Structure 1
Amino acid sequence: MSDMFESSIFAGVTISLLAYMFGSVLKKKLKIAILNPLLVSIIVTIVVLVVADVDYDVYNEGAKYLSWFLTPATVCLAIPLYEQWELLKHNYKAVLGGIVAGVITSLTTVLVLCKVMGLSHKDYVTLLPKSITTAIGMGVSEELGGYVTITVAVIVVTGVIGNIIGEIVFKIFRIKEPISKGLALGSSAHAIGTAKAMEIGEVEGAMSSLSIAVTGILTVILASVYAHFM
């Protein structure tokens, strides 16, 4: 199987897509929150690579084509926002306030925890972009001198956790406003959280889509400021 990965330029893409399809089917059949398709696909892919003794670089050579779709996929999230444009105009102050609060909370939390745990500056800036979409987060991490590969992993983990526990948090704190739900998921769990927001409702999905873009822009600006705090 290792030879197949080395000889085929599409082996990585094929394994990744099959693993995700398996995760999606599993989630639909069992309907268990923790069986997030992305989480399942990551685990399945890792198991396949370990069992087949395939080097990560060999796998990534065939799977890298998937990353080309990150930016256009993020841009496509503007469609549900356009459909809820009137709602956004009537609530723009609360929306912007919520997103700003989410970004500052995320960055401050990383700062405090890194100081408490005694992490290095490089570890710290690696974690700063944890709540923004991968396409933007990779650039922020690289610009600040962080470990880009670890940043990608942290972003994925953050999104998966947000996707899994989002509705639970809403129930615990009795959050019923659709706009609030969308902003919370988008500003904390980026695209993966937005996928959950879209499952919940159209308004939640639209607000979450907006959060991804604005959170990304604000994080790019504020992360460079926060990088000097440690």
Structure 2
Amino acid sequence: MSFIGFVSFIGTIIIFLLSKKVYRKMNWIILSPLLICPLIIIALLLITHTSYEDYNSGATWLSKLLGPATVAFAVPIYKNYALLKEHAKAIGASLITGCTVAIISSFLFALWIGLSNEMINSLVPRSITTPIAMDISEIIGGEPTMTAVFVIVTGLTGSIIGPLIIRYIRIRTSAAKGLLLGMGAHGCGTSKAFEIGELEGTYSSLAMIVAALISIVLSDTFFPLLQHYLIG
């Protein structure tokens, strides 16, 4: 790792921790570390004229932690296994519906605004966690880097809109809150769900993981059929 890469690695962690501290104190969604941290880093790169390649030589190690972080969500799922098993049918039905709607809506929106096939394939996996979304994107002919951007935008938007939906339509149950945030905003939503409560976070973790598995299957079966009949 180069010196610039090392500074990037340590600097990113420090910026994230500081922004997280501010967020906890102010509790404003627009100050979310997932939004503020990238903006600060982009500003610093522009000011210091540091290329993305130099920055990523160190920061890439943080990206590699996405996989283990996703697996770690299995812990609260295991702790609440009995409760999750009790509602397995409802959870399964809602997540299959959510994944199908996510793929169809992404595909139709991409067609409507006239995106290229590569961009369409990059947008479709946007509703699942980043490492799996990038893999799916590569398999179906998308650009994984763009997919990561779409996933982040989806997650940030969902983590902002999700709590508002919960509040204004008066969703009461922990399961509904967690599944909404996990399906709609994956990792960002799960982080927000754990702020609401452990049970909400558990359901959100389950939604994120199961939705990723369902999306893998749908991307290899349902999505090619959708492309065939709507694009030809």
After TM superposition, the score normalised by the length of structure 2 is 0.93
- 1:145 equivalent in alignment to 2:141: yes
Alignment of 1:155-174 (within 5 A): 155-174=151-170
Tell me the amino acid that sits aligned with residue 200 of structure 2: E
- 1:44 equivalent in alignment to 2:40: yes
- 1:114 equivalent in alignment to 2:110: yes
- 1:94 equivalent in alignment to 2:96: no
- Structure 1 position 8, deviation (Å): 3.8
1:16 counterpart residue number: 12
Cα deviation code 1:10-48 (max 9, x no counterpart): 122112112211211221222111111111100010001
RMSD (CA atoms) = 1.5
Tell me the amino acid that sits aligned with residue 223 of structure 2: Y
Distance 2:135 2:219 in 1: 12
Cα deviation code 1:55-90 (max 9, x no counterpart): 101110111111221111111101111111111111
1:185 counterpart residue number: 181
Moved more, 74-83 or 18-27: 18-27
Distance 1:59 1:25 in 2: 24
Tell me the amino acid that sits aligned with residue 44 of structure 1: I
1:213 counterpart residue number: 209
- Structure 1 position 206, deviation (Å): 0.9
Match of 1:70 among 45, 48, 66: 66
Distance 1:22 1:227 in 2: 44
Distance 2:182 2:76 in 1: 13
Distance 1:59 1:215 in 2: 32
Percent identity between matched residues is: 35
- Structure 1 position 7, deviation (Å): 3.0
- Deviation above 2 Å: which 4+ runs of structure 1? 5-9
Distance 1:191 1:205 in 2: 10
Tell me the amino acid that sits aligned with residue 140 of structure 1: I
2:223 counterpart residue number: 226
- Structure 1 position 146, deviation (Å): 1.0
- Structure 1 position 172, deviation (Å): 1.9
Tell me the amino acid that sits aligned with residue 57 of structure 1: E
Are the equivalent residues in 1 in contact too, given 2:4–2:55 (CA < 8 A)?
Answer: no
- Structure 1 position 204, deviation (Å): 0.9
Tell me the amino acid that sits aligned with residue 199 of structure 1: E
Cα deviation code 1:123-143 (max 9, x no counterpart): 111001111111101111111
Distance 2:94 2:8 in 1: 39
- Structure 1 position 106, deviation (Å): 0.7
Distance 1:23 1:12 in 2: 16
Distance 1:61 1:164 in 2: 31
Instruction: Tell me the number of residue pairs that the alignment of Structure 1 and Structure 2 aligns.
Output: 226
Are the equivalent residues in 1 in contact too, given 2:122–2:146 (CA < 8 A)?
Answer: yes
Structure 2 unaligned spans of 5+: none
Distance 1:76 1:13 in 2: 22
